[in-house]
Chain A
Amino acid sequence: MDRILEIRERIKAVYSRYSMYADMVLRFLLALFTFITINGNIGFHKQLSSPLAAIALSVVCALLPMNFTVLIAVFLTLFQLIQVSMEAAAVAAVLMLIMYIFYFRFAPKNGYMVLLTPVAFTLNIPYVIPLGFGLSGGPLNIVPMSCGVVLYYVLHYVKVYSSTLNDADGGFATDRLSLLLDNIFRNPEMLLVLLAFVVTLTVVYIIRRMSVDHAWKLAIGCGAVLDMAILFIGDFALDIETSFLGLIAGTIISALAALVLEFFLFSVDYTRAEKVQFEDDEYYYYVKAVPKVSIAQPEKKIQKINTKKEEPKEAASQQANVIVSIEDALHRTAPAEQTGEGEAASEEESAAGPEEDIDGDEEELRYLEQIIKEKQEEFLNRENHNNE
């Protein structure tokens, strides 16, 4: 366990050191998977659907803030939809406008959440979305998650019925529009997935906020089982063709991914949990304190192999320092010869008489001898210390 915690700390340290580049890589990957999802479903424009175009756009998105990725994904989706059906593009545009007006104007930083849901569907692990959003956020995450689900099913529907939508002889535009809306919003599979995801996210959020031991693991377990149960029963009841093996495998992988998320976001030691109770004038407090699991980074030991070679240099530099300091002392004690003020002082001294001048010289010499002795002793002490 310590080893895993150590790896976690190292990952965190590496991320914090290279966060700028790590964020760019993450933005690139999200953009790439988003464009692959869009092109995989509605890639009707040949040039724009090529992998090279997706990579080029992803590189651009990696260098720009996250909201530009969302914006480019929106424009790419609309452009691809225009190729197959103007009505489909209009419906998608109106849906995106409604999503923007009613949610993303107030939470522009959550735009990436809409992209994550279709990407998770493409990777066959959509069940990770309610688990992850429930663990990392609050019930408001239901809105971007639901928007993502609706957008994915719009893309999916256009992919499946592209030939019908592209048919110019398929009746009036209003009929095609009505048919399109009918098939999107009355799609039982989409409504079932929406229901399952909303219930799962809510349950995961409620359980992980409880003060029971291992609340996060319990939330992941309950959420995964509940999600699977709702989809399982719903598929039977509504007679929807689905792969149950895929559902089970997807749920297990999603639960494992959620456990990884828990490891990074919420790592506590329940064995050292403490329950304390205290009161003030107005309330009684029942507090459960659970310590976070943390591990100190191992310190790097640097062993110097060639220390002996440096000794002569050190000794020489110390000797040079002593000489320099003696010279400094000499300059400090005999400023009269160098500065203008000193010249004036020496004139005063010469005017005072020869006896006083001799006395002053003797004092200076004694002072210099004392400083030289001190410096020599200091140097010898240092050398002795180094030899020891």
Chain B
Amino acid sequence: MKIMTRLASYDSGEGREEQKTIRYNRKDYVSFHVLATAIWVTVGYIAAVCLILFLHMEYFTSHMNGAKLIVLAVIVIVGYAALLALYIRIAGRVYRGRYSKAKENARLYYMDLRRLNRLYEKERPQAGVSAEPEGEQ
């Protein structure tokens, strides 16, 4: 009963997503998500920069000149590179962890399945013996 509950819980809960995860090769899975993270971070960074620009709109329109613009551009690019590097590192760690966890959970799931199968096989011959006399009568 415990095994069946555990299996059902896995099937209806995290198991669905984790089964999709382990279909991929580990390297492919991590690379895909790191790439997706890089794209998302780029979008987020552009949004954040736009917000800051709007926030300091008055200052930029009145005090900006060519040299300051170059400095600002360098700061924005360096900031982007640093943030991207940080998030790629974080994403690599997070998705490697998720993949390992999914693999481990799937291993436990298949172990439980095998255990359940063995229990069924044990019960089957007994059920057959008890059913025979009834059939003859």
Contacts and interface: CB of A to CB of B under 8 A. Distances in A.
Contacts of A174: 54, 57
A101 B54 contact: no
Contacts of A91: 51
A178 B58 CA distance: 9
Given A178-B55, A181-B54, A105 B37 contact: yes
Interface residues of A, number: 15
Interface of B is mostly: helix
Contact of A98 (B48, B55, B58, B87): B48
Contacts of B47: 94, 97-98, 101
B37 A94 contact: no
Contacts of A98: 44, 47-48, 51
A128 B38 CA distance: 36
Nearest to A185: B55
B25 to A, nearest CB: 22
Interface string A75-107: 000000000000000010011011001100110
B22 interface: no
A182 interface: yes
A376 to B, nearest CB: 27
Given A105-B37, A106-B90, A178 B44 contact: no
A242 to B, nearest CB: 25
A99 to B, nearest CB: 9
A185 B56 CA distance: 11
A128 B45 CA distance: 32
Nearest to A182: B55
A245 B43 CA distance: 44
A106 B94 contact: yes
A101 B91 CA distance: 12
A178 B47 CA distance: 15
A91 B50 CA distance: 10
Interface string B13-50: 00000000000000000000000010011011001101
Most buried by B among A94, A101, A102, A174: A101
Interface of A: 91, 94-95, 97-98, 101-102, 105-106, 174, 177-178, 181-182, 185
Interface of B: 37, 40-41, 43-44, 47-48, 50-51, 54-55, 57-58, 87, 90-91, 94
Given A97-B47, A101-B43, 9 more contacts: A102-B41, A105-B40, A106-B91, A106-B94, A174-B54, A178-B54, A178-B57, A181-B51, A181-B55
